[in-house]
Amino acid sequence: MTTAKRNPPFRAEHCGSLLRPDELVQKRYDVAAGKAPASDLVPLEDKSIEEVIKLQKDCGIHTISSGEYTRHMFWGTFFEELNGMKELQLGVLKGYDAGMFRDYAPDVKSFMESKEIPNAVTVCVDKISHKGQSSNQREVDIMKKLLPENEWKNIKITLISPSWYHFRYRAGRSFPKEVYASDEDYFEDVAKAYQTELKLLHDMGIRNIQIDDPNLAYFCSQAMLDGWVADKGNTKTADEMFDAYVNFYNKCFERPEDMHLGIHLCRGNYVGSRHFSEGAYDLIAKKLFQDLNVDTYYLEYDTPRAGGFEPLTHLPKNKNVVLGVITSKFPKLEDKDEMVARVNQAGDFIAQGSGQTREEALQRVCVSPQCGFASHAEGNALGYEDMRKKLQLVRSIADQVWPGQP
């Protein structure tokens, strides 16, 4: 089966963040240190994004991102630019204490053990609301300038998960008690902010959104679940919190019908190609796939830490999965034939769950690296040409499994 025209997700996909040029990384540090004016970043970002768009096209990738080059870290600036949220100077917790963090949250635990403050300290200080202008405006403007209008719908904008500044804080510490009486009150205002952001992006011609969410995958981690039970401050069980997040996300993700929205789950992607957690999707698969209102799941599947494909039997017929079988963490190239076999194996599990043939099930499958190449400024332990080869491999696998499809 071939398809002449296809909307996202495409058969050959990637997760948004791409290795930044060294000069861009250094310039951003210089600006932060007061050694260079912020205006110096603008032409450098423009030039770098133009080059990385060419890279994606040269590799046969139809989903186009900015490489997240207008950001320093993958979560961008969505929460930081909302009314009611305050970004504290990194490492400065005036009026706060380290005990506000869930020290068993996998990423927080890693930073605590390395004597570092968790890598973003942004807190709710007042009622949350959207300011009315997209925090992704500049990123969108650059890409629209560089792409023909008929390709704007393929632009991928990545947004941080709605629970990013909730999960990492202990129960009741995500917001001042005098501002919000409960999680539900906090969730309501955050959901309105997401709905506004999605509408603004839609008005700008964007039809392809990816939510980056390590948090839901942490509910697959036995170490995290054990920590949750030991934390006597929790008023919900881990299962109840997961359910609450799904309901919360569904409100956040209310969107126009022609907007494709996917969610990317991984187990951490930090400097030096570190990951933070392990655990198969089995514990959350049914609720994740059947209850969450998204079109596509971008799933980490490059190592045994993510488990097998069995949970994909729960994938509904109206949803897609992008299999992250290629690692973005290290330069060694995977064997193409082995990866094609893995994609087919995943197709068999999906077919088993939906009563389809493998060929039918594979029409809801795509392939990609398991995460971005540079969720954080310096990126993973591989080079630019290594990244190019990884993207070319993804394209080659897709061409063999789905000949003639973008």
Q: What single string gives the DSSP state of each residue in 382-395?
A: S-HHHHHHHHHHHH
Give the residue from 78, 89, 70, 230 showing the smallest Cα distance to 155. Answer: 70
Question: Is the per-residue pLDDT at 3 higher than 50?
Answer: no
Give the residue from 250, 280, 252 showing the smallest Cα distance to 265. Answer: 280
* 251 assigned to some structural domain: yes
* 189 assigned to some structural domain: yes
**Token pair 């514990």 is at which residue?**
283
Structural domain that includes position 323: 51-401
* 133 assigned to some structural domain: yes
d(CA 221, CA 239): 13
Put the strands of the sheet holding 156-160 in their side by side order: 156-160, 208-212, 260-265, 296-300, 320-326, 365-369
pTM of the model as a whole? 0.94
* CATH number for the domain harbouring residue 132: 3.20.20.210
Residue 306 pLDDT class (50, 70, 90 cuts): confident
Residue 83 pLDDT class (50, 70, 90 cuts): very high
The burial of 230, by beta-carbon neighbours within 10 Å (0-12 exposed, 13-18 middle, 19 or more buried), is given as: exposed
**Token pair 């990013």 is at which residue?**
164
Q: How many domains does the chain have?
A: 1
Q: pLDDT value at position 73?
A: 86
* 14 assigned to some structural domain: no
- Single-letter amino acid, residue 108: V
Residue 364 pLDDT class (50, 70, 90 cuts): very high
Question: Is the per-residue pLDDT at 327 higher than 50?
Answer: yes
What does the block give as tokens for 141? 């403007």
* 15 assigned to some structural domain: no
* 32 assigned to some structural domain: no
* 246 assigned to some structural domain: yes
Give the model confidence (pLDDT) of 106-155 as tens digits: 877 776 666 555 556 789 999 999 999 999 999 999 999 999 999 999 99
* 1 assigned to some structural domain: no
Give the model confidence (pLDDT) of 170-227 as tens digits: 999 999 999 999 999 999 999 999 999 999 999 999 999 999 998 999 999 999 999 9
Terminal Cα distance for the chain, rounded: 12
Ranges assigned E (strand) in 115-257: 122-129, 156-160, 208-212
φ/ψ region of 95 (left if φ > 0, alpha if ψ in -120 to 50, else beta) reads left
Q: Do the beta carbons of residue 213 and residue 98 sit within 8 Å?
A: no
Phi, psi for residue 209 in degrees, rounded to 5 = -120, 135
